Amino acid sequence: MIWNETKECMSRDEMRNLQGSRLRSLVDRVYHNVPFYRGKMQQLGLEPGDIRTIDDLSLLPFTTKQDLRDNYPFGLFALPKSEVVRVHASTGTTGKPTVVAYSRKDIEIFSEVVARSLAAAGVGRDDIVQVAFGYGLFTGGLGIHYGAEKLGAAVVPISGGNTAKQIQLLQDFGSTVLACTPSYAAHLAESLEEAGVDPTTLPLRIGIFGAEPWTEGMKQSIEQSLAIKAFDIYGLSEIIGPGVSIHCGMGQGLHVMEDHFVPEIIDPDTLAPLPEGETGELVFTTVTKEAMPLLRYRTRDLSSLDSQACACGRTTVRMAKIYGRSDDMLIIRGVNVFPSQVESILMSIPEAKPHYQLIVDRQGTMDTLEVQVEIDDRFFTDEVAELEKVKKRIKHQIESVLGISILLKPVEHKTIQRSEGKAKRVIDNRRL
Ligand code: DLL
């Protein structure tokens, strides 16, 4: 179902006009209300009147995560604090968290884009949505919660973790939709199996998964093990949270809610905008947000854009499934390696489970990459020769794709730590 046909199905020209007028109003607001942006625009010799159409977007300055940190906690607010009704923050691995703020209208927009996303995945009023994203400073739980309520579905706000309870509610409440990270979905699937619950006997039918990179292979593995159809939902707290884009189940790519978040793809080195279809860094401008709008926010996520009409009827631009983050890219002995490349290969190997980790180290001047992957336990008992064969096959496949030699370590069931939120796929001991 298309939740908001007026906005999701308008012609490309109408969309560009709408984005243009919203951009003009945004630039005016941030120029006058956010000293940081006024300073940046003045440095570039720009005044609000210089921005006339959406084509002028590329004249504007970029915003980075560091800018958010430098203005911690409330320095980028474009409204007085009395107009702010909620803050979220991303915990981050280093330094201070990045803080984001919402006005009442921003929360309305947040609910709207999540409602659109859920509708695109086929969720409706009769559904029971078990929200197993974390509630709290993270935007996942509350974001999906408000959107599902707006849609009119029944929300089960269980939050992340507590796997036994998740299973109990899936059974007792008959939840039809599960929202969580793909890695937690994989963990839940295995826990169901351990508990002797056959997923085909559950009413569960749709998975809304995101907040971390996952490959098409991982999607198929989860769909099979939970007997559901899985949808990729993308977003980031700086832009709003989940609901920036959603896969519609057709063709390729995720529809961007571009009447609110205008996407661009840039070359991360030269910062030049790239033509449609080319892969680069995703950048978003939040043209309607009030409390903490951002100009040209550099996400570090790698993707490409496609504005061709989609079979689902939506005309909004689609972004390719996130390939990885530019800061996730490992450089091992000079070779660029994305964790998603390894995941794609592992997921094509029937003996490999969807639980793996990459461990990067340095011995002397030599970088090493160890891939740990869980393999069915039977290989560790009576089929030792078989295990060697499987190990060789996986190692060979990964090496031929990456072009570097690796250490492959098959490990037993439950060796890799399970995640309740975003999985930690890489341990890079070189940086410690
Ligand atoms: O992860 C918001 C979210 C919650 C999205 C629930 C989807 C579902 P942050 O914690 O700020 O916000 O992390 C944002 O997570 O820049 C991407 O690198 C990654 N990410 C989010 N969704 C996807 C996805 C939330 N579907 C960062 N595929 C982003 C790949 C994703 N990566």
**Ligand 1 atom having least distance to the Cα of 233:** 26
| pLDDT above 70: residue 358 | yes
The reported pTM is: 0.97
Specify the pairing of strand 366-375 against strand 407-411.
parallel
| pLDDT above 90: residue 96 | no
The CATH architecture to which 1-327 belongs is 3-Layer(aba) Sandwich (3.40)
Strand-pairing partners, residue 361, are 368
The confidence band for 432, taking pLDDT boundaries of 50, 70 and 90, is low
Rounded to the nearest whole angstrom, what is the distance from the C-alpha of residue 360 to the centroid of ligand 1?
24
| pLDDT above 90: residue 92 | no
Rounded to the nearest whole angstrom, what is the distance from the C-alpha of residue 241 to the centroid of ligand 1?
8
**Ligand 1 atom having least distance to the Cα of 301:** 18
pLDDT of residue 93: 60
- Which residues are within 8 A (CB) of 108 and not within 5 positions of it... i.e. 6 or more apart? none
Mutate to test the pocket of ligand 1, among 244, 301, 422 (most ligand atoms within 8 A of CB): 301
Using a 6 Å CB cutoff, which residues line ligand 1? 90, 133, 138-140, 210-213, 232-237, 241-242, 299, 301, 322, 325
Distance in angstroms (rounded) separating the CA atoms of residues 411 and 418:
14
Rounded to the nearest whole angstrom, what is the distance from the C-alpha of residue 234 to the centroid of ligand 1?
5
CA 7 distance to own-chain centroid: 22
Pair of tokens at residue 43 = 């440095």
Q: b vs e for 92-114, b when ≥16 Cβ sit within 10 Å of the residue's Cβ?
A: eeeeebbbbbbbeebbebbbbbb
Give ranges for CATH 3.40.50.12780 in the chain.
Answer: 1-327
pLDDT of residue 379: 84
Rounded to the nearest whole angstrom, what is the distance from the C-alpha of residue 184 to the centroid of ligand 1?
14
DSSP 3-state of 112: helix
Q: How many CB atoms lie within 10 A of CB 344?
A: 16
Pair of tokens at residue 283 = 């950048």
pLDDT of residue 307: 97
Q: Interior CA angle at 215 toward 68 and 380, to 5°?
A: 120
Instruction: Write the residue with the smallest CA distance to atom 21 of ligand 1.
Output: 211
State the average pLDDT over residues 269-280.
Answer: 98
Which amino acid appears at position 358 of this protein? L
Rounded to the nearest whole angstrom, what is the distance from the C-alpha of residue 138 to the centroid of ligand 1?
10
63 phi and psi, to 5 degrees?
-125, 140
Tokens 């920036």 found at: 244
State the average pLDDT over residues 263-277.
Answer: 98
Instruction: Write the residue with the smallest CA distance to atom 27 of ligand 1.
Output: 236
pLDDT of residue 27: 98
State the average pLDDT over residues 123-149.
Answer: 98
Rounded to the nearest whole angstrom, what is the distance from the C-alpha of residue 422 to the centroid of ligand 1?
9
Pair of tokens at residue 260 = 């609110």
Q: What Å distances lie between residue 270 and 60, 105, 157, 298, CA to CA?
A: 15, 36, 44, 13
State the average pLDDT over residues 132-156.
Answer: 98
State the average pLDDT over residues 57-72.
Answer: 97
| DSSP state, residue 211 | S
Give the domain 330-431 fold. GMP Synthetase; Chain A, domain 3 (3.30.300)
State the average pLDDT over residues 214-241.
Answer: 97
Rounded to the nearest whole angstrom, what is the distance from the C-alpha of residue 389 to the centroid of ligand 1?
37
DSSP 246-279: EE-SSSSSEEE-TTTEEEEEE-TTT-PBPPTT--
State the average pLDDT over residues 39-44.
Answer: 98
Instruction: Write the residue with the smallest CA distance to atom 13 of ligand 1.
Output: 236
| pLDDT above 70: residue 280 | yes
Q: CA end-to-end span of the chain, whole Å?
A: 48
Distance in angstroms (rounded) separating the CA atoms of residues 173 and 158:
12
Mutate to test the pocket of ligand 1, among 212, 244, 298, 420 (most ligand atoms within 8 A of CB): 212
Average of per-residue pLDDT values in the chain: 96
- Give the tens place of pLDDT for each residue, 367-383: 999 999 999 888 887 77
Q: How many CB atoms lie within 10 A of CB 196?
A: 6
Distance in angstroms (rounded) separating the CA atoms of residues 392 and 384:
13
pLDDT of residue 378: 84
Give ranges for CATH 3.30.300.30 in the chain.
Answer: 330-431
**Ligand 1 atom having least distance to the Cα of 232:** 26
pLDDT of residue 194: 96
HSE-CB for 43 with a 13 A CA cutoff: 9
The confidence band for 322, taking pLDDT boundaries of 50, 70 and 90, is very high
**Ligand 1 atom having least distance to the Cα of 138:** 10
